[in-house]
Chains A and B, each alone.
Chain A
Amino acid sequence: MNTDLTNLAPSPADFLASVSPAIPEFFLLALGSLVLLGGTFRQERPLWGWISFFGLVTAIALAVRPIVSVPLDGNPYNGPLVYDGLSQTLRILSFLCGAGLVLLGWEEGDSSHVAERSALVLFAAAGASLCVAANDLATLFLALELVSIPSYLTLFLARSDKNGRESTLKYFLLSIFSSAMMLFGFSYLYGITGSIRIPEILAVLAESSLSPVPEAVPAARLVGLVMVVAGLGFKVTAVPFHFYAPDVYQGTSHFGAAVLSTLPKIAGFAALARLTGLTYETNGGVFLPFESQPSYLFWILASVTMTLGNIIALWQNNLRRLFAYSGIAHAGYMLVALSVGREVGATGALAALVVYLWAYVSMTLGTFAIFIYLDKKSKHLEKVEHLNGLAKTDPIAGAILVLLLLSLIGLPLTAGFIGKLALVQCAIRRGLENAITEAHPTSELRLYVGLAVLILVNAAIGGWYYLRIMGALYFRKGKESPASNRSVAALLTGAACVVVTIAVGVLPALVTRGIGEVPSQIIKTNVLVGESQDKPVDNH
């Protein structure tokens, strides 16, 4: 069956067909180049801001309703890019996030670099969007770099004082270090499987696990896996690859922190979901060759990341630093989905991850939007006490911030609640299901129910520092600063984020549509690919 798929090199027509859905990304890249070019002639805030903003809106429109639709011939997972439910929802998230960032960057910093700032956001949004659809290692790496490089430049443009330069350099060095680790891991994966196409890699690994192979091969796979996870762990600020985040967030501007805490995380989590096979299988687990070890790896990553992020956040007084740790904690929650791993579908791990990613991005972006708005207004917003009495002095911004904080805490009717609920559900289901089927039932049950409890404990600890901010808003007295400059765009972005937060909180199905719809024969076809490559096969 499907013998034509054994041909690894797709025909040009197939290639075109598989790339044609990426028209929005190409459009953004072209537009970004034009904006960069135009910026050398004119530096006008409204002009480039509007162009970029509407460019992103157009990209969303193109993503939702493609103008060119080439019928796919053959396996949708054969091209460099794959457009399934996951890429669809996350690319819209990337574009929306980019649109929000354009609005936030509108009045940020000096006016001389407004075109550059907008263009960089366009590039990074396109990069994140490509990353969520990347289906082979090369595309994935390119897409990730397309996110990283604009972020370096954004950091560089954001603040030009000593702290700013230091944080830019720190991020740059550590990012390169992480990319190197990831590439190292990629090379192992390619070396073992002979393919750069992720489904094939996974299929080959799955097959080889069933055969009596030399000891060296599993060891090499382990190295590959850990290296890749370490590289991507940097993007998603997983402990112990998180160290840069607090320093860099604090050293840069609110805008820089907003960029770093959103787009790279979308890209990183999407890549992790693809590489662990979360998107490809409806059943059968992550990285089959290692059985449950990858799950336990993510178990440790998740629990350490969320706990450390939350407890250190308790001590923070600088707002950006606090939100760096808060972001680390939320990344820890999302890693739970990767640890649970096996369930895909409407209530499965992937859906939980997507919902949480939407929640996280909207909450964080909205919070930074309010910070930017307030910073603009009072010329200074660094510490928690600078928010004192905000509910009185600026009720609208105060209300938006309170709603976002409620979502960050995870109160019902907000996306933060639905996300945590889905994750807890996944963890408990994993524990219960494996308790029945696995050889070591009690340990699985204990582990995953324990993880669910840990999420709840962490949510409680997290509630503490968010409530501290809320307390500052309501119960402390602040001094009314003369409103010099109000950034309406930032305020609107904050409000839009609240709308998204509540919309996802009430109707999570909005963002999970199509996620479970993965063609079921994909693993089988890829098994055939493995056969054709003379890999040892054990027919079971």
Chain B
Amino acid sequence: MFEPAAIALIPLLPALAGALTLLLGPKILKQQSHWPLIIACVGSFLISLLGIQALTSPTLEIRQIVYQGGTWFATLGSNPVSVGWDFRLDPISAMMVPMVLFLATVIAVFSIGYMKDDPAYPRYFGVFSIFVAAMTLLVLSDNIVLLYAGWEGVGVCSFLLIGFWFQKPSALKAARKAFMVTRIGDVGLLLGILLLWSGCGFTLQIPTLIEKAKLLSDEYLYLAGFLLFIGAMGKSAQFPLHIWLPDAMEGPTPVSALIHAATMVTAGVYLIARFLPLLTMSPDLLLLIAVIGGITAILAALIALTQNDLKRILAYSTMSQLGYMFMALGAGRSDISGHSLVTFAMVAAMFHLFTHAFFKALLFLSAGSVMHSMGHVIDLRRIGGLRTVLPFTHIAFLSGALALAGVLPFSGYWSKDEILVAIDSASHGPNRDGVYKILTWLGLITAGLTAFYTFRAYFLAFWGEVKIPVEALSHGQHGHENDHGYASTHHEVNHDPYGSVSDPTKAHESPWIMTLPLLVLVPAALGIGALFGPTHRMMDFLGSAPGFHADHGDHSASKWVAMASQVFGLGGIAVAFLLYVAKPGMAVSIRKMAGSGYNLSLNRFYLDEILTILFVRPLQILGWLIQALDRELWDRLVDAVARIPAWLGDKFRPVQNGLVQFYALAMALGLTIFLVFLAFGDRLFR
């Protein structure tokens, strides 16, 4: 029998581990600081598995286990608010939590090797633990305040980890950017929550909220849903709030794998999926979600085509895949026969979220392994032919790439397929079919682009002539202390920035503590899609979530997109092979032909610059003005005013001359003045 209270342990264990590591880490645990995190993650993972077992037991009528762990805080007044430690395990959270914990465990083990010798080793694992706690809290919470607490918690941890190497100015800047941009989204989320709260009879429980919100007026619902979506856009890096994610790669690579690829960035998808039964009430909103998702998907894919930084390519691909998920969520409307696609859309999005987490984590960890071996160099122009140098990493990256490209029968194929089918089904709806039709094609094109840029990166890094940067050799064998960017930039000044050598004997594969997690993830990344997708396990499980219903409807009309996506995907891979392995010269000539298009993509469509001009510059000018006004005018004015009392005081000091007869005289004089005042003072005051 599963005790509901155990759900609360899932976030609690990592939280305790985090507190323990942060408190004891620097003095006692030191290089053993990873143990609390790993133990907590494994413990929570096992609890979550028990939870799933309980959840799927046939005796359970509604597929949810709720635990109310007492009041967190309560207010009095006309609309009393009581926020409790309410947790809820239902199929949606039961899918997310083990995934998060499994990946956290694997990535934590990988980090042991990657972060070895870092002076802030305990801080890394402490914040990592807090992140896991916040993420599981976000997913498991049953009321929106707790959800928001987890939401902000992961934001703070993300900030701390992006800026982990705060000695590096670019890391600091990236951390600030991520924080500020996601804050915009958070404000939207908070406003949305408050709107729902006040509109739905001041309840905080998510299921009750969704139930009651269905009675709200269309405009109200649209506004609240839109604000929630703004929150999701910020967290999940959707256009135009996406600009923080590529910069977030300044953090340690394992962190990028966990937070900025597999888990945190999917929080927005999770949020929208949770509230999808509510949002389907507003078809306009669904369309908006789908369109934003589509724009993000194709835009990110186009940018990824030309990037030279391996991690940035992966970051843009993450954005693109998240766009897919939002497209799927946006497809949750009714088709022409009045059949609601909401469950199908939700399952498609969550399924892709699930498979994506595994293969993207694998790709990032592989990239981390490459970085580790290559002296923190990840520029595709400076590395190459690594498949013999890093054999394990090569296998891992190839597996991830195959899954991401959506090659049959690997994970990405099944989940991406579902998304495309969902969108195509939505295009047979009562209205606005055209938009969904376009989105279907956008999705297909994106699939082709995805396959192309993934394999472009793969071929550039692992095929061709062996190129190993000097950094890998100068301190490859000893001293990882220079392994972390802020130190290695120093070396780049001394050497030719594109300098590389081709003596593979000195470069080395990462230690087993890093390759082992990679190899564990390989089967997960490749097979998990086939395990859950075609067998309808995912649909059966997620479809039983309260508010949804398993949908085994006939989508055969949309089966053509599966074929088409295969064609696009394989085509993309073939082109990449042609350009970067078979005929390397062609890539250069195509680049010349594409000209401005290439530059647009390379410069990320100048979106950062546009947003800078639109928002950052005016604010900076305003800030400068205010500062100038403050310093030049107010400060001086205040200083001048502040001098008056002292000046006055100085003038009065001589009166205090220490002579008792003078004091007596002064008292008598004062008395006289008061008497005169009382006699004639009326006229003074009136």
Interface of A with B (CB < 8 Å)? 169-170, 173-174, 177-178, 181, 219, 222-223, 225-227, 229-230, 234, 239-241, 243-244, 246-247, 290, 293, 296-297, 300, 308, 310-315, 440, 443, 447, 461, 464
Contacts and interface: CB of A to CB of B under 8 A. Distances in A.
B650 A296 contact: no
A243 B652 contact: no
A244 B666 CA distance: 11
Interface stretch (B231-239, B501-509, B552-560, B653-661): B653-661
B169 interface: no
Given A219-B679, A293-B682, A312-B652, A178 B660 contact: no
Interface in B368-392: none
Contact of B658 (A178, A247, A315, A440): A247
B678 A229 contact: no
B686 A300 contact: no
Contacts of A308: 652
Contacts of B595: none
A297 B675 CA distance: 10
3 tightest Cβ-Cβ pairs between the two chains A and B: A240-B670, A311-B649, A243-B663
Interface string B629-668: 0000000000000100110111011001010101110110
Contacts of B681: 293, 296-297
22 contacts: A170-B660, A170-B663, A177-B667, A178-B667, A227-B671, A229-B674, A230-B667, A230-B671, A234-B667, A239-B670, A240-B669, A241-B667, A244-B663, A247-B658, A293-B681, A293-B682, A296-B677, A296-B681, A297-B678, A297-B681, A315-B650, A461-B645
Contact of B649 (A169, A222, A244, A312): A312
Nearest to A439: B686
Interface of B: 642, 645-646, 648-650, 652-653, 656, 658, 660, 662-664, 666-667, 669-671, 674-675, 677-679, 681-682, 685-686
Nearest to A461: B645
A222 to B, nearest CB: 5
A173 B667 CA distance: 12
Given A243-B662, A247-B656, 9 more contacts: A174-B667, A223-B675, A240-B667, A300-B677, A312-B649, A314-B646, A315-B646, A315-B649, A447-B685
Contact of A314 (B645, B664, B667, B686): B645
B682 A313 contact: no
Contacts of A177: 664, 667
Given A297-B678, A315-B653, A243 B666 contact: yes
Nearest to B667: A241
Contacts of A239: 670
B685 A443 contact: yes
A173 B660 contact: yes
Given A230-B674, A246-B656, A293-B681, A311 B645 contact: yes
A444 B352 CA distance: 74
A243 B656 contact: yes
Contacts of A443: 685-686
Nearest to B670: A240
A241 B103 CA distance: 79
A226 B678 CA distance: 9
B668 to A, nearest CB: 8
A225 B681 CA distance: 15
A177 B662 CA distance: 13
B675 A311 contact: no
A227 B678 CA distance: 12
A314 to B, nearest CB: 5
A181 B686 CA distance: 29
Given A227-B671, A293-B678, A312 B664 contact: no
Nearest to A234: B667
Q: What DSSP secondary structure best describes chain A's contact surface?
A: helix
A310 B675 CA distance: 26
Contact of B664 (A173, A229, A300, A447): A173
User: Among the interface residues A219, A296, A312, which one has the most CB atoms of the partner chain B within 10 A?
Assistant: A312
A219 B685 CA distance: 19
B686 A440 contact: yes
A290 B679 CA distance: 10
Contacts of B650: 315
B660 A174 contact: yes
Contacts of B674: 226, 229-230, 297, 300
Nearest to A458: B645
Nearest to B660: A170
Contacts of B660: 169-170, 173-174, 244
Contacts of A440: 686
A291 B681 CA distance: 12
A312 B656 contact: yes
B79 to A, nearest CB: 27
A244 B661 CA distance: 11
A244 B642 CA distance: 28
A312 B667 CA distance: 18
Nearest to A294: B678
A314 B648 CA distance: 10
Nearest to A247: B658
Contacts of B682: 293
A222 B656 contact: no
A435 to B, nearest CB: 14
A234 to B, nearest CB: 7
Contacts of B645: 310-311, 314, 461, 464
Contact of A313 (B649, B658, B663): B649
A311 B667 CA distance: 20
A240 B685 contact: no
A453 to B, nearest CB: 14
Contacts of A174: 660, 663-664, 667
B648 A311 contact: yes
A315 B648 CA distance: 10
A223 B671 CA distance: 9
A293 B670 CA distance: 16
A247 B664 CA distance: 14
A223 B674 CA distance: 9
B303 to A, nearest CB: 52
A181 B671 CA distance: 9
A511 to B, nearest CB: 26
A174 B677 CA distance: 24
A215 to B, nearest CB: 11
Nearest to B661: A173
A229 B675 CA distance: 11
Nearest to B663: A243
B671 A226 contact: yes
A247 B652 CA distance: 15
Contacts of B678: 222, 225-226, 290, 293, 297
Contacts of B662: 243
B681 to A, nearest CB: 6
B666 A311 contact: no
A225 B674 CA distance: 10
Contact of B666 (A173, A240, A290, A447): A240
User: Among the interface residues B646, B649, B652, B685, which one has the most CB atoms of the partner chain A within 10 A?
Assistant: B649
B669 to A, nearest CB: 7
Contacts of B652: 308, 311-312
B672 to A, nearest CB: 9
A517 to B, nearest CB: 29
Nearest to A447: B685
Nearest to B658: A247
A229 B686 CA distance: 23
B678 to A, nearest CB: 5
Contacts of B648: 311
A252 B389 CA distance: 87
A280 to B, nearest CB: 22
Given A170-B660, A174-B664, A312-B652, A297 B677 contact: yes
Contacts of A173: 660, 664
A352 B426 CA distance: 71
Contacts of A293: 678, 681-682
User: Among the interface residues A219, A243, A300, A308, which one has the most CB atoms of the partner chain B within 10 A?
Assistant: A243
A226 B675 contact: yes
